[in-house]
Amino acid sequence: MNQLIRCIDCDSIFIKTPFDRCPEFTCDPGDPSETVRSTDRDDYQSFLSVHHGHRLDHPEILEDSFISEKAYIEPVKVSYYRAANKTERFVVKRFRESIEEPLRFRLIPGEYTLECIGIEIQSEEIVRQLKSDFRKSPLSQDQISAFLKLHRRIVDRIDIRNLVRIPEESSHPLEIFYKMDDVSVFYLLRNCRNIVRREAYPQIEQFIYRHKDDGVLLLKARHRIQSTERAKAKGEAASTVASVRDTKAMERERG
Ligand SMILES: [Zn+2]
């Protein structure tokens, strides 16, 4: 995990990553020998020397606390981490406005929470999967619509707090996938008896079992980031930023 250093006197932060000591390689295109020069730099050491004699704090970045409004692969975005020292909690805001800019960080005293704003079924994916799984004896359009309607109705009654989260399914931090609980699966199975004929029932039963744990029957919950900023204590200065050079590497880490 990256290390966070905060200068209390300047209210400035630095995120220490394994890349701070990487030499910077430059190449002069006009030089026929194509020599690559390397410049040693140590951003961490220069932060320490700028803040020499100041009060330093080392809040810990909390594991698995990365969150962002945009997809993981999106390079230009605002992201947040949780951090804490022994007495206070913070939100580390990571951002930049263009891809050329280095990442910037801001330490905000306070906390963020995620608020679920809706649970969706994966309608398009379900239709595609039903068509593919029932290739030999296709369901009618009415049966497919009835299945979607039934699934939606069951999901509308689900309390997300009772569900198991499937983190690896999502490419977007605010879209979280959940597995249906056993009772909901039972309702879905039972009500499918009203949608398909008896001969076709074992096949729809198989469909449900096949796709409920890691497939198209997973539920997609959309979230919103709510951040609560604690008022700064007296003596704390306004925030400031620090930069990290190897932005691509930081993106790869995804938290
Ligand atoms: Zn300082």
Q: Domain residue spans in the chain?
A: 3-113+226-253, 123-217
Which is more confident, 245 or 227? 227
- What's the 165 CA to ligand 1 centre distance in angstroms? 42
- pLDDT for the residue numbered 230: 72
Cβ neighbors of 64 (< 8 A, separation 6 or more) are: 255
| Helix (H), strand (E) at residue 82 | strand 79-84
Neighbours of ion ligand 1 (CB under 5 A): 7, 9-10, 51, 54
pLDDT tens track for 33-71:
555 555 555 778 888 899 999 999 999 999 888 889 888
- What's the 81 CA to ligand 1 centre distance in angstroms? 22
User: Which among 42-46, 153-157, 227-231, 243-247 has the top mean pLDDT?
Assistant: 153-157
Q: Return the SS3 of 141.
A: helix
- What's the 52 CA to ligand 1 centre distance in angstroms? 7
- What's the 45 CA to ligand 1 centre distance in angstroms? 13
- pLDDT for the residue numbered 28: 56
Q: What is the DSSP string of 156-193?
A: HT--GGGSEEEGGG-SSTTEEEEEPPHHHHHHHHHHHT
Question: Span 127-138, mean pLDDT?
Answer: 95
> Residue 128 pLDDT more than 90?
yes
- pLDDT for the residue numbered 249: 41
Question: Span 112-141, mean pLDDT?
Answer: 94
Q: Return the SS3 of 210.
A: helix
d(CA 172, CA 83): 22
- What's the 56 CA to ligand 1 centre distance in angstroms? 8
- What's the 219 CA to ligand 1 centre distance in angstroms? 47
> Residue 247 pLDDT more than 80?
no
Give the confidence band of 25 by pLDDT, cuts at 50, 70, 90.
low
Average pLDDT, the chain: 82
- What's the 207 CA to ligand 1 centre distance in angstroms? 61
- What's the 11 CA to ligand 1 centre distance in angstroms? 7
Among all chains, which residue has been given the structure tokens 């945009």?
Answer: 70
d(CA 65, CA 227): 13
- pLDDT for the residue numbered 23: 52
pTM of the model: 0.66
Q: Which of 241, 238, 200, 245 is nearest to 104 (CA)?
A: 241
Q: 96-100, 179-183, 241-245: lowest mean pLDDT where?
A: 241-245
- What's the 96 CA to ligand 1 centre distance in angstroms? 23
pLDDT tens track for 3-19:
889 999 998 888 876 65
- What's the 92 CA to ligand 1 centre distance in angstroms? 18
- What's the 4 CA to ligand 1 centre distance in angstroms? 14
Distance of CA 39 to the CA centre of its chain: 35
pLDDT tens track for 186-235:
999 999 999 999 888 999 999 999 999 989 999 999 999 987 777 665 44
d(CA 255, CA 250): 8
Phi, psi torsion values for 176, nearest 5 degrees:
-115, 135
Among all chains, which residue has been given the structure tokens 């900023």?
Answer: 229
Question: Span 113-140, mean pLDDT?
Answer: 94
Question: Span 120-127, mean pLDDT?
Answer: 96
d(CA 26, CA 35): 9
